[in-house]
Each structure stands twice: as C-alpha cells, then as structure tokens.
Amino acid sequence: MRWQDRIIVDGSDRDLWLAGRRQVIGASDAAKLAKASSVDKYLAAKLAPRTFTGNGYTEQGHRWEPMMLAFAGIPQNVALIHSPDQPGFACTPDGLRVEPDGRLRLAECKAKHGKVVTGPSVGEWRQLAWQFECIPEADFIEFLWVELVQNARGEWDLRAEHRGMPHRLVIPRDHPEIVAARAQILPIATDLLTRLRVALTYERRAA
C-alpha cells in the first residue's frame, strides 16, 4: 500500500486531525514510551480530555518551522499517515519530500528555547524512530532545530551563533539510536494500542 493511500486525514481540518490522532498511537505518544510498566499511565494520558491549545513556545515553533523546512528544501506536511503493517500506528512528520527515485525524505523541526543542543533528546529519538516505523518509504529524516534566546523586549530570536541558519542533522534509518529506540518502543506501543482500542470501544458504547 502506497503512503498516499495510508493517509488517515489530510490535516486541512484541525478537528478532524485531532479526532483521527486520538484513535492511533502517534509520534508524540511514542516519544513518551520509556517503560513497559507505565502503559496504564500512557493510556490515561492518551484518553484525558485535551484542553491545551498552545502557548508562546508552540507559537514560536510554528513561526520558525517554515524557515527550517525552506532551508532543507522539504515541503510542509500536515497529513496523518499510518503504518502499512499496523493502521493503529501513525505519524505526522513536519515535512515530507518525494525523491526522484520515489523514496521519501522526512523532516522534523524543533525550536529550542534557551538551550544549546547537539541533536535529538531521548524522547525525540523515539519520535524519529516512530516516523521510520510508520513510513518505511523514508530512508532519512532531516532533524532541524533553531536555538532561541530572549531579547530585551521579551521576544525570542535566533542565537547569534546561528548566523541566521538552523541546525541540521540528517538521520538515516539504520542509525544506532534509531534502531535502539525502535526496539524499546515497539512492544510498549503494541500493548498501548491494544488497551486503547478496548477503552475506545467501551467509550463509544457508553456514549
């Protein structure tokens, strides 16, 4: 099944995207999957009512994301795409580009506030591994980030050392951190998905 045929929602309607996202294990869920013994906690968080609509940090992420994607030459993506092997596993990479050979190159963008980093955090490695799991057509993910500092007006600007450019790290599918993260999160996600489906079934029956 082609990746285009695995699009759950195209992302043009935010409410539909959120509804579709609630039915699956997404990349932001996978980023939190650290312990098999904490599946009940992950399920409770997944089912909890969502009242968060964003803050200054998320606004900054939206502000800088187009610049980062343009820097990498990768179009923005808002579609939720499921795995060919498991429809309950899905992700929405920030960027997606079809290469001349038909393979895909993904992008993940991060805005780092008051931080200097050299690459993905532990949770971000899990998130990237999940994107590879859901979209096997991709061989590389461009991990892009900007480091922001607050100016005298309280606004967030690029750190001077950036020279107006984001940081860029090209991560291959066989990167050791990706391989290790995938091995860690896949069993936990499989258990979580089973419990999520049962919970959603009871929820629909009770409605």
Strand intervals (E) in the chain: 7-9, 80-82, 90-91, 95-98, 104-113, 138-150, 156-158, 167-172
pLDDT band at 154 (very low <50, low <70, confident <90, very high): low
pLDDT tens string 116-151: 889 999 999 999 999 999 999 999 999 999 988 777
Residue-level pLDDT at 161: 65
CA–centroid distance for 107 within its chain: 9
- Residue 48 to residue 5: CA distance in whole angstroms: 30
Which residue ranges form the domains of the chain, and what is each CATH number? 3-206 (3.90.320.10)
What number of residues does the chain have?
207
pLDDT in tens, 33-64: 999 999 999 999 999 887 544 444 455 546 78
User: Does 3 score more than 80 pLDDT?
Assistant: yes
Please give the structure tokens belonging to residue 151: 């100016």
The alpha carbon of 105 is separated from its chain's Cα centroid by a whole number of angstroms, namely 14
Residue-averaged pLDDT of the chain = 90
Query: What pLDDT is recorded for position 117?
Result: 87
User: What proportion of the chain, given as a percentage, has pLDDT over 90?
Assistant: 75
Locate tokens 């187009």: which residue?
66
> pLDDT tens-digit profile of 158-191?
766 666 688 999 999 999 999 999 999 999 999 9
167 or 154: whose pLDDT is higher? Answer: 167
- Asked if 88 and 82 touch (Cβ cutoff 8 Å), the reply is yes
Give the tokens for residue 102: 């038909």
Determine the average pLDDT of the residues in 107-111: 95
Q: What is the pLDDT of residue 152?
A: 63
**Sign of CA pseudo-dihedral 183, 184, 185, 189:** positive
Which pTM does this prediction carry? 0.90
CB 156 within 8 A of CB 150: yes
Predicted confidence at residue 148, as pLDDT, reads 85
Per-residue pLDDT at 52: 41
For residue 142, the model assigns a pLDDT of 97
Distance between CA atoms of residues 69 and 61, nearest Å: 12
Question: What is residue 149's predicted lDDT score, i.e. its pLDDT?
Answer: 78
Residue 74 CA to residue 177 CA, distance in Å, equals 23
Q: How far apart are CA 41 and CA 164, in angstroms?
A: 41
